[in-house]
Amino acid sequence: MDTLTLTTCQGAEITPHVQALARLRIEVFRDYPYLYDGDLSYEADYLGRYADNPDSLFVLVFDGESLVGAATGQPLDDEVDEFRRPFEANGITPSSVFYYGESVLLHDYRGRGIGKRFMAEREAHAKLRGFDIVAFCAVERPSGHPLQPPNYRPLHGFWNAQGYQRHPELATTFAWKDIGEHEESHKSMVFWLKRLD
């Protein structure tokens, strides 16, 4: 982190960085397991929802002037139905949950503790605002997926080490276009939760 700058902002404060964040999301999510065939118009709509929300949080990492990493979050109450519904069905009030949109970081910057900072900054933000739970959703590809790299290691160990637990009962699907697909298809996703002290 010594040569990098980490900063946070909320809501419309992200506006000067939206284009850079859109490009970063497209680049990072192109990798397995997301395989996202990115679309700038979708990104503008998606990030616009966070920019319009004064309760959202952006954690940004810069190398000089270049955005190399970002993590986002907003109250689950403000999220799409696909993400709220599993909580409601399992008796968890969405207003008690702060939802992490994503953590994206270029390969060259991994292994420097930035992922831990992403988690810590969002947890502190959620705790300060009275949320009981922090949560994120991760795609789950079928075993033996043809595009899984031979050296792929899921992040489950890292997430567990940060105090997050996988909750298979909190499952949903979400649609996007994979690399090589002609149209969107629904992907299986499962939530990971941490209760705040």
pTM exceeds 0.85: yes
Question: Tokens for 188?
Answer: 């299986």
Count helices and strands (H / E) in the chain.
5, 7
CB atoms within 10 A of CB 83: 22
**Stretch 39-46: mean pLDDT:** 90
For 101-146, the pLDDT digits (tens) are: 999 999 999 999 999 999 999 999 999 999 999 999 999 999 889 9
Q: Is the peptide bond before 168 cis (omega within 30 degrees of 0)?
A: no
Strands 133-139 and 97-105: parallel
Which of 44-48, 62-66, 114-118, 138-142 shows the lowest mean pLDDT across its residues?
Answer: 44-48
Q: What is the DSSP letter of 13?
A: G
> Please, are residues 53 and 74 in contact by the beta-carbon 8 Å criterion?
yes
pLDDT of the residue at 17 = 96
For 11-35, the pLDDT digits (tens) are: 999 999 999 999 999 999 999 999 9
Q: What is the DSSP letter of 155?
A: S
Residue 176 has pLDDT above 80, yes or no: yes
User: How many angstroms separate the CA atoms of 165 and 148, rounded?
Assistant: 24
User: How many angstroms separate the CA atoms of 88 and 73, rounded?
Assistant: 19
Strands 97-105 and 66-75: antiparallel
Residue 1 has pLDDT above 60, yes or no: no
Gyration radius from the chain CA atoms = 16
